[in-house]
Amino acid sequence: MKNKNTKPLTKKIVSGKFKNRVLKLPSKTTTRSSKSIVLESFFNTIQFEIIDATFVEVFSGSGSVGLEALSRGAKEIIFMEKDRDALIVLKENIKQTDPSACEIFSGDSFTNMKSVVSRLMKNSQKAYFYIDPPFSIREGMEDIYDNMIKMIASIPKEVVELIIIEHMSGLEIPQKIGIYKVRKTKKFGKTTLTYLEDDLN
């Protein structure tokens, strides 16, 4: 008899041209999928801004946020992920949508951010950065939020439309990170979305 737990985890794209396409999710032990209520709120907030935009999903896991953005009209998605199992799932999920509009930077996101920024600068592009790091309670991830804040501070404003952080509600995000300030914060139980923009906006 098969173990019921062997059924693969999945979620569907909610809206747009790829609505109802089924995306696989990696093992919960390596990545954590964004809750539907969080994503619904996020896309309600930026639904019109995102059309024809470039979208960067940092720590992308299955790519469900970036692929939802693509389905809703974003022009190009850049995924950043280092977990090998997650990368396999991410590539399979991209095939369900439009691979020509997607690019993957595999490896450590903190290291690869420089390459992503260089690519955007070269093409004079601004992007939406969705940053959903592994929770710091996981082993080996104790410094993840400190590193994330340093990474955000290093991103030049020339490539940023908006920075969105999905994080544990208990984490206090500084009101200012480098040249970026908190535009708004929205809490969903244990998860919170924090929006950052250029301080001159």
**H helices, E strands: number in the chain:** 5, 10
Confidence band of 160 (pLDDT split at 50, 70, 90): very high
As a whole number of angstroms, the distance between CA 134 and CA 136 comes to 6
CA 85, chain centre distance (Å): 17
Query: Which residues share a beta bridge with 187?
Result: 192
Please check whether residue 162 is in contact with residue 125, taking contact to mean a CB–CB distance below 8 angstroms. Answer: no
Q: What pLDDT, in 10s, does the model give residues 11-22?
A: 999 999 999 999
Closest CA relative to residue 155, chosen from 107, 106, 121, 184: 121
Rounded to a whole number of angstroms, the CA Rg of the chain reads 16
Q: Of how many residues is the chain composed?
A: 201
pLDDT above 70 covers a percentage of the chain that reads 89
With a cut of 70, say whether residue 1 has pLDDT above it: no
Cα–Cα nearest to 22, from 83, 71, 85, 84 = 71
Whose CA is closest to 56, among 115, 143, 141, 97? 115
What is the pLDDT at residue 33?
59
CATH, range 54-198 = 3.40.50.150
pLDDT tier for residue 41 given thresholds of 50, 70 and 90: very high
What are 74's strand-pairing partners? none
pTM, two decimals, is 0.91
Two tokens, residue 155 = 């991103």
